[in-house]
Amino acid sequence: MNIILLAPPAAGKGTQSALLENYYQLCHISTGDLLRDALKQDTEEAKELKEIMAQGKLVSDEMILKLIENTLTTSNLKNGYILDGFPRTLKQAIDYDNLLKKMNQKIDYVLCLDIDKEILKKRIVGRLLCKNCGAIYNEYFEVSRPKEEGICDKCGFSLIKREDDNEESFENRYDLYLKETYPLIEYYQSKGNLYHVPFADTPNQVFEEIKSIIGDKHD
């Protein structure tokens, strides 16, 4: 069972990836992790990657696709995988489908997490981080608000906001998501493997919606 998750910023993609990974015993393939691991290798590809990133350039689609192909051919993926961070554009999706055809594989589910834009904005603009233990809070939602304003419930250290957790940054990221991801939604919808996951109040409720789409554990 192979899955792609599509979601706007702060929609909870990381949380749902972890729940899917644990419940269905899937391999979590993160393009960010693949790039970080590749940089640690003593290879020509690693040297090329370091040079590209040092210059602040974007890593090419071809290079990311090669890293994914290496993972698909060398990892234990008997139960399937969740692909995180790829594809981001229609071209990447088409290139990835061509790779899967070559490998006689396919994507079973493309899960699109649907959530209201204003809720997403509050999740980002209201986010508070503990600079000591890394706990995350939100000043806009009672369930995740710290008991004492500006203080971490877990360790008592001060809470901070990331510089890019502001409305302007959110609007830019959301607009980019719409521009890049909506064509993906249409693409996978036309292929018949796109499923919309409606918003719910808690991550576990969202995951129950996902399980209603996929079904119970696969043996």
**24: its two tokens:** 């269905």
- Among 2-11, 15-24, 35-44, which is the least confidently predicted range? 35-44
Residue tagged active-site, from 66, 88, 121, 211:
88
Task: Assess whether 88 carries a catalytic annotation.
Answer: yes
Mean pLDDT of the chain: 91
Residue tagged active-site, from 122, 145, 173, 211:
173
Average pLDDT over residues 156-166: 94
Residue tagged active-site, from 106, 154, 162, 217:
162
Average pLDDT over residues 19-43: 89
Ordered domains of the chain (ranges, CATH): 2-116+181-214 (3.40.50.300)
Task: Assess whether 121 carries a catalytic annotation.
Answer: no
Task: Assess whether 162 carries a catalytic annotation.
Answer: yes
Task: Assess whether 131 carries a catalytic annotation.
Answer: no
Q: State the Rg of the chain over Cα.
A: 19
CB atoms within 10 A of CB 213: 11
State how beta strands 81-84 and 27-30 pair: parallel
What does pTM read for this prediction?
0.85
Distances in Å between the alpha carbon of 187 and those of 55, 100, 197? Answer: 33, 16, 17
Is 50 exceeded by the pLDDT of residue 187?
Answer: yes
The rounded percent of the chain whose pLDDT value lies above 70 is 99
Task: Assess whether 173 carries a catalytic annotation.
Answer: yes
Residue 14: partners with Cβ closer than 8 Å, 6 or more residues away: 84
The rounded percent of the chain whose pLDDT value lies above 90 is 67
- Among 4-8, 36-40, 194-198, 204-208, which is the least confidently predicted range? 36-40
